[in-house]
Amino acid sequence: MLKHILIGAFATLSMPMMAEACSCYCDFEHKISEYLQTHKAFWGVPKQSQLTSDYNVISQVEVLEGYKRLKSGEIIAIESQPEDGASCGTQLYTGVPQFIVASTTNNKNIVSTCNCEPPSAYLIEYLKEGKDSYLPSLQNCWDDKGEIKPTKKCEIWRKAPEDNIAEFSELMRMYKLLREKQTAKPK
């Protein structure tokens, strides 16, 4: 028993200590319409993905619903890093409809856990109805207890749990679109 403890201690102490972590800073203080000047938000289905030589993943995504900003059926290349817990990577799942919010930088569309998305319910509301909402800095909306401040300005962050409902209802609509698309194809 002592032999196993000594081997374990030696192995632990002789290995270099390394910690990997994803760290992001999200700064808002603008409207959703301004956010969407540098981002694309749409429902899409990744058709194929490929690992590049620099360990990024390029996915070819078919647009299902582009909310009059992207054409349905259009194929868009989305770049990401593999989901490994340390790189802020996010994985797009081939064949599965997903609400995708990609930052557009240097003619690349990039998804990452550091994209700092606004609450989906408000984003979808803007895309569908044009209702613009102000996005205060999330850092300025926390109180000393770690809760969202009960101010009108910070309300958008307090209502973030409504995102699940908004995304789910849109997801059901996407599945319906896919079914209609499949039944419309000639056999």
Is residue 125 one of the residues assigned to a domain? yes
Q: Contact, 80 vs 56, CB < 8 A? A: yes
Is residue 19 one of the residues assigned to a domain? no
Is residue 15 one of the residues assigned to a domain? no
Q: Cβ–Cβ contacts within 10 Å for residue 63, how many? A: 20
Domain span holding position 77: 24-184
**Rounded distance, CA 29 to CA 171, Å?**
29
Is residue 35 one of the residues assigned to a domain? yes
Is residue 161 one of the residues assigned to a domain? yes
pLDDT band (50, 70, 90) for residue 185: low
Is residue 64 one of the residues assigned to a domain? yes
Q: Cβ–Cβ contacts within 10 Å for residue 24, how many? A: 10
CA dihedral 143, 148, 153, 155 (to 10 degrees): -170
Task: Give the CATH number for residue 123.
Answer: 2.40.50
* Domain count across the chain: 1
**pLDDT tens digit sequence for 91-144:** 888 999 999 999 998 889 988 877 678 888 889 999 999 999 998 888 888 888
Query: pTM of the entire structure?
Result: 0.76
What pLDDT is recorded for position 23? 55
Is residue 92 one of the residues assigned to a domain? yes
Q: Contact, 165 vs 123, CB < 8 A? A: no
Is residue 130 one of the residues assigned to a domain? yes
